[in-house]
Structure formats: C-alpha cells, structure tokens
Structure 1
Amino acid sequence: MTTTAETTTDILDVARAQVLERGEALTQAQIVEVLRTGDDRLADLLALAHEVRMKYQGPSVEVEGIVSLKTGGCPEDCHFCSQSGQFTSPVRSVWLNIPELVRAAKQTAATGASEFCIVAAVRGPDDKLMEQMREGVAAIRAAVDINVAASLGMLSQGQVDDLVDMGVHRYNHNLEAGRSFFPNVVTTHSWEERWETCEMVKESGMELCCGGLVGMGETIEQRAELAADLGRLEPHEVPLNFLNPRPGTPFGDLEPMETNDALRTIAAFRLALPRTILRYAGGRELTLGDLGTRDGLLGGINAVIVGNYLTTLGRDPKEDLALLDDLEMPIRALNETF
C-alpha cells in the first residue's frame, strides 16, 4: 500500500517528465491527482509549475486593464455575479460614454499594459452596443497605442465578423465552470452556448481569452474538468478567477477559497495548460493576499489584470508593478504579445 507522500511524489515526477520535459499537458485524471496533493508538497508543486512557465512562456508578464462599457442590469443569472438584474445585489445599470472609455484606455496604457479590455454586462450585444463598440474602438485606436479586447457575452457569426473588422485583438468569453457543474452556476443559458461562441472566435482569427471561476462549491474533480475543457479548447489566454462572494447573489454566503487550495489550483492549471497565458483575474486579493499573489507568480501565473475589476476593487497598479520589478519579471511589450 502506498502512502500519501509516495503518491504525491509520483504525480510530481510524472508531471516533470510529461509536462516540463516533453511538453505534454496533464490529463484530467492527472489534474485531479495534482489537486489532491498535500500542503507538505505545495512548495515543490509551485516550483515545478514555475519551471514549466519559464520554459514555455519565459519571464515576461502580460499586463491588462479592464473597464465596463455597460455595468449591471444583465438578464442572465450567473450565481456569482452582482451585475445580474435578477438578484438584490447593489450594482445597477450604467453606460460609459466614449470619452470616458478613451480616458480609461490611456490610464491603462500609462501603467505599461499592452491590453485594454472593454466589458459589457449583457447576454450578448445588441445593435446599440455594437455601434458603441465600433465608435469606442476607433476612438481608442486613434488616441493610444494599445491592443483592444472585448467581452460582450455570446455572439452570432455576424457579430464575430464585425469585431474582427473593428480591429478587436482578443475576445474574452469564459466557460466559468466545468460542464458538469455549470448548471449549478447558470440556468439562463448553457455551457454549450458558451463553447460555440469560443469556437467562432478562434476560427475568426481573434485571440481567444477563456477561463473560469473556482471556489464556487465545485468538487476537485469538477475543477479538474474545467482545466481539461480549457485544454481541449486551447485558448490563447486563461484568466483564473477566485470567487469573491458578493452580497445579494446566490453564492454570497460561500466562504472564500483557502489560500493553499488556490495556489494548488494555479499550479494544476499551469501543468494542464503549459503553453497558455495564465492570468490572475478577480478575487486574488481576497483569496491570496500579498504573499499568495507573489507565490502564484512563482507558481505558474504569467499575466495580471491591474487596478479594479468590474464590480470589486483590485490592488493599486503600482503595487503589482513593484512586485513584478522585485521578481525581475519584465512587462511584455505591445509587440511581444503572441
């Protein structure tokens, strides 16, 4: 009978040979094994994930800022989100005008970021939103040298084509959760609908940014399922969010994820996605704090969102930039984005 320590050592040895040396991602079953490793092996796991990151991604970090073009009033019932119009959470519908959008893009560029993402709390864009996007993207590109990304919900093929025509560099559309857990998170649309939008984006030539949210009550197996789903999809970038329970939402009373579980998840996702940009997204401040944020950057993360998120506060961008400097991780220049 093998001990826990022996089993843990075995999966790390397997991961080193398979992922680091041969460049082959972990299988779903192997991801489960990694997520089950004990705290006594966490430092070794993070070190291995960092080696994989450095080998396939290098030391540079991609920095992005985000802003909401339309905040609140979303008709969908994503149970973690305070922008849903179905819950009693405090966010109410607000539209951002074009000059404010350009100002936010300039502020983001001033941090050294190479990416600026425009987000709207909608099921999918209507004609009004698409026209605002066209005006906004044109204004930003005329005013500042920065890649423009978008996150506008589910798309039709015509809308995908329009975003390409506007010059949108990357599209964000998260799977949110593994397929089996998704009905516990959203009931107003399906996992398959999200997948279809992601496939259209990939086929269009835009870069696909697709990740998810962990700490919503999913099992370890379902967390591994999300990582494996993303591995099959092969997005350019995976933003990893940690649940920040918002008052008034169905998940508002859940406890934040334990720091070590979050760090194990970061490392597991890196071993499942060795050649993919893995980005810190929402919830890291609550779940990881300052020390955990550093550990994650030394455990597989190679991109960050700086400043505030859509409905929650983030860290001061100066703190993140100082941390990257301290770790000798240069910010990826605009012309270095993949």
Structure 2
Amino acid sequence: MTTARTDVLTVARAQVLDQGTGLTPAQVREVLDLPDDRLDDLLELAHEVRMRWCGPDVEVEGIISLKTGGCPEDCHFCSQSGLFASPVRSAWLDIPMLVEAAKQTAKTGATEFCIVAAVRGPDERLMAQVAAGIQAIRDEIDINIACSLGMLTQEQVDELAAMGVHRYNHNLETARSHFPNVVTTHTWEERWGTLRMVREAGMEVCCGGIVGMGETLDQRAEFAGQLAELEPDEVPLNFLNPRPGTPFGDLEPMSGPDALRTVAAFRLALPRTILRFAGGREITLGDLGARKGLLGGINAVIVGNYLTTLGRPAESDIDLLGELEMPIKALNESL
C-alpha cells in the first residue's frame, strides 16, 4: 500500500515560512513541477516568506560598465565576449562619466552602485581605474559601492576590501553540472574560489546566475541548492535574453509562468537572502510579471539599463514599488 506524498507547499509552509529553513534541491524540484493552476498559491507563499524573513523593504541598485566588450572568456550567453561575432565592441568609461552614472543612480533612491568590467579578472590598469572611480564617487555622493570584475587573486581581494567595496558580485551562472555547457575557458570551481576569498575578506557576497540556458529542471534545482550552500548576501536572478552572435542567441526565452515559478522556488530555497530581479525580466515577464515577481519573493531590483541590454525606465520600477507600498531600503539599512 502506498502513502500519498505530502503537498510540497504544505511542507514549505511549515519548513520555510514557520522555521526559516530553506527547501532542499529535491523539494525545489517539486516546486518547479507545480502546474500553472498552483502558481498563484506558490507566489503567495513565497511572498509571505519574503515578508517574514526579509521584511517589506526593497533594495534598489544601479549598474554601470567601466570596461565593456573584448572579454577573452567564452560565456555562451554573453555578447561581451571577444570570441563571438556579436555587435558589442571594447570600450572604457572615463571617471567623470562614472561619477555621473553614480549620481543618477542615487537620485532614484538606490543605495547600491555596482561597477562592472568585462574581463577574466582585473589587471593593474583596471584596478587603478576602479580605485580612482571609487574615490571620485565618494567625493560627490554617499552610496554603497559594489564591484564585479571577474575572478580575483587574494591580493586583489584585499585591495578591493581596503578600498571599502561593500559587496562583490561574481555569479556562478548555473548549476555545477551544467557549467561546462555554458563556459569552457574557466571552471565553476575557479568562480567558487573567488567567492570564498571575498567572504573571508569581509565583503558581502553577491552571487546568482541566469536561468533558461538549456539547463534541466533538475539542474535548476541543483543550482538553487548550491547557492544555498554558498549563503550569499544577495542572489541576482537573470533570465536569458538571447544575444545575437552568441552560442545561445537562438535559444527561446523562458515562459512567464516558468520564470515566476523559478523566482518563487529560489525564494523558498533562500528565505533570508536578498533576491534581486536582474536582466531579462522585461522580455520574459513584462510589466505584469514584474508586479507578480515583487509579490512572489523578489525583494531587490536593478533599475535602468543593464550592461548590453535595455531595462525598464527606473521611474517605472520606483512608481511600481510605491504602488505596491514597498519602501525602498534606506542607505543606513544597507550597511
């Protein structure tokens, strides 16, 4: 005689909402299998979890590319790789433009400004440019500064920590088992090593990835579990926006329901983590999906444009947060 399995949302309500213990990869896999007619129930539970363990505040961030294009790595989703026939060309941003971008970000109410570079890892020139940029921004405005500069050495980690970098972003991108299908010029383990050094240096760890890159649902659940093991302070969740000229340029974008199921599943796996809407949400979810995501586990957004793709106008996201009565996290609450 077989016994009926307890519904995963019933389990999640007791385990995640009541106890604050994230779902296991096997449980996440069950969530990803839920039919569309259970989606609203799933999103409602994820929102309850977010409100209980993270509160109502939403962290707003802007990003800017200090060094664009010409990257030697072959990340199959990225139009900034110098190995693909994509339209992005190598360019550097000067310090005055970097400061202006930080000022415009701060005007939206954002508390976090991330300096990004398309590189395998920073060289001396880039580290010097970052140091000069951080100092110039600090001379003008009060905002937390994050960086995303690829893989780091211990010396570079220590330098960034000494500069006062608040948070370092380095995405694992996908599940360990799927990573060789996404990148071949470096390993998942190399990325993990950088994240470990960042954590030990006292900087906050920002680590997420992109869903919809051909991974199976098992691998998507695996990825959620690996992020939970890492315990990052923030997980930016991107949805593949296929870029012309890249190996993934012909993949179909995820459906809206699949994207929302993924958002909620990651919230249930990571109940206390900042879960940020990042790239691809515009084509995957649209305006209605953005609203549902914010009511389904998301508690942070990137406003404005991304590195090589257009985002929603910053004002649209800020207005939506006001309509949903979700306060923007204040700067002193982000420290």
TM more than 0.5: yes
The answer for unaligned runs of 5 or more in structure 1 is none
Question: What residue is the counterpart of 1:281 in the other structure?
Answer: 278
Q: What is the aligned counterpart of 2:189 among 189, 192, 201?
A: 192
Matches within 5 A, 1:10-159: 10-159=7-156
In structure 1, how many angstroms separate the alpha carbons of the residues matched to 2:93 and 2:319?
30
Q: What is the aligned counterpart of 1:334 among 328, 331, 335?
A: 331
The answer for unaligned runs of 5 or more in structure 2 is none
Amino acid at match of 1:133: V
Give the TM-score taking structure 1 as reference length: 0.98
Amino acid at match of 2:213: M
In structure 2, how many angstroms separate the alpha carbons of the residues matched to 1:33 and 1:243?
23
Q: What is the aligned counterpart of 1:251 among 239, 248, 260?
A: 248
Give the 4+ runs in structure 1 shifted more than 6 A: none
In structure 1, how many angstroms separate the alpha carbons of the residues matched to 2:2 and 2:135?
61
In structure 2, how many angstroms separate the alpha carbons of the residues matched to 1:218 and 1:279?
20
1:181 and 2:159 correspond: no
Amino acid at match of 2:147: A
Q: What is the aligned counterpart of 1:270 among 267, 272, 276?
A: 267
Amino acid at match of 1:144: I
| CA deviation map 1:37-56 (0-9, x unaligned) | 00010000000000000001
In structure 1, how many angstroms separate the alpha carbons of the residues matched to 2:2 and 2:96?
63
Q: Percent identity?
A: 75
In structure 2, how many angstroms separate the alpha carbons of the residues matched to 1:270 and 1:81?
26
| CA deviation map 1:223-274 (0-9, x unaligned) | 0111100000000000000000000000000000000000000000000000
Displacement of 1:2: 8.7
In structure 1, how many angstroms separate the alpha carbons of the residues matched to 2:273 and 2:300?
10
Displacement of 1:164: 0.6
Q: CA RMSD in A?
A: 1.2
In structure 2, how many angstroms separate the alpha carbons of the residues matched to 1:107 and 1:290?
23
Q: Alignment partner of 1:289: what SS?
A: helix
1:236 and 2:221 correspond: no
In structure 1, how many angstroms separate the alpha carbons of the residues matched to 2:90 and 2:263?
33
In structure 2, how many angstroms separate the alpha carbons of the residues matched to 1:294 and 1:286?
14
In structure 1, how many angstroms separate the alpha carbons of the residues matched to 2:219 and 2:76?
17
Q: Alignment partner of 1:119: what SS?
A: strand
